[in-house]
Amino acid sequence: MPTDPRNVTQLLQQSRGGDKVAFDQLMPVVYDQLHKLAARCFRSERPGHTLRTTALVHEAYLRLLDSNVAYNDRVHFYAVAARVMRRILVDHAKAQHREKRGGGAEKISLEQSADVGAQPPAQILELDEALERLAVRDRRKSEVIELLFFGGLTYDEAAAALEISPATLHRELKMAKAWLYNELGRGSPAEARS
């Protein structure tokens, strides 16, 4: 089956209706995009990392299978997939951090942390904690960062997933980046606007 976005939405709808064959057909259709999302997290990964791109994709897909989410369309599916991948990476970082406890975690910027795979576990945890604090203050701003930086969605896809206009998404992103720059202790809000 071709990777036409309409096919993904159709398979998701059929699967939601209880069609097991449709859900089995879904994985080959979405695999490449899920792999791209995972690869984005690992594009400059340090050698010897214990988690691999394919393992992240498979773990995310298994968690997506086990979830009881009624996906509206492909954008919603990929948005949830991005959140699941973020959670897996954070869980992996926590496990690594437990093994390598120690103080002295340095503050990082949003752009540094967007390249998730290259960061030491403590920095990934710091970003995750900052995003959790942002979510308490303003859930949508946290979701914008999550969809764009972790999920690799385009502005239009993220705006569609959040049901806002691309202009609103851009404003939310600017404010979220400024808040995170301040929270992470790097740069000034002026740098966040760039």
Q: What is the token pair recorded at 24?
A: 């089995």
Greater confidence, 86 or 110? 86
Contact 56, 90 (CB under 8 A): no
Write the DSSP assignment of 21-62 as a string of letters: HHHHHHHHHHHHHHHHHHHHHHTTPPTT-S--HHHHHHHHHH
Greater confidence, 136 or 104? 136
Query: Residue 141: what pLDDT?
Result: 92
Q: Is the pTM of this model over 0.75?
A: no
Instruction: Summarize pLDDT for 46-84 with one digit per residue, the tens.
Output: 555 567 788 888 888 888 877 777 777 788 888 888 888
Indicate the pLDDT class of residue 44, thresholds 50, 70 and 90: very low
Q: In angstroms, what CA-CA distances link 179 with 12, 82, 173, 190?
A: 36, 22, 10, 11
CA–CA dist 60, 30 (Å, integer): 12
